[in-house]
Amino acid sequence: MRRIARKSPVKLRFWMCLCLGFMSWTAVAQEFMITGEVNSPDGPVPFANIYLRGTAHGTSADENGLFTLHNIPKGSYVLLATAVGYE
């Protein structure tokens, strides 16, 4: 007679955790970064506030008008910039 080998529940849990770990890792990889420069006809706009409409994502430009938004979920957004003295 042949003996039917049963799979170990510990091994099964290990493989399930490993698979879930890879799935969460790929979900994290779906976040993006936006970089840019805020300019006016007179040149860079220092310290402008930049944000994505309808989200809590925002940042400020540096003294050269450069900015970076990190950890942006995949999607379509409207990017807005505001600064004192500009319309």
The pair of three-digit structure tokens given for residue 13, joined into one six-digit string: 């849990």
Closest CA to 69 of 42, 37, 23: 37
Position 5 scores a pLDDT of: 55
Position 1 scores a pLDDT of: 57
Is residue 75 within a helix (H) or strand (E), and if so which, with residue range? Answer: none
What's the rounded mean pLDDT across residues 62-86? 92
Position 17 scores a pLDDT of: 65
Rounded distance between C-alpha atoms, residue 56 and residue 53, angstroms = 8
pLDDT in tens, 27-70: 555 788 999 999 999 999 999 999 999 999 999 999 999 999 99
Please give the model's pTM, rounded to 2 decimal places: 0.64
Is it the case that residue 74 has pLDDT exceeding 80?
Answer: yes
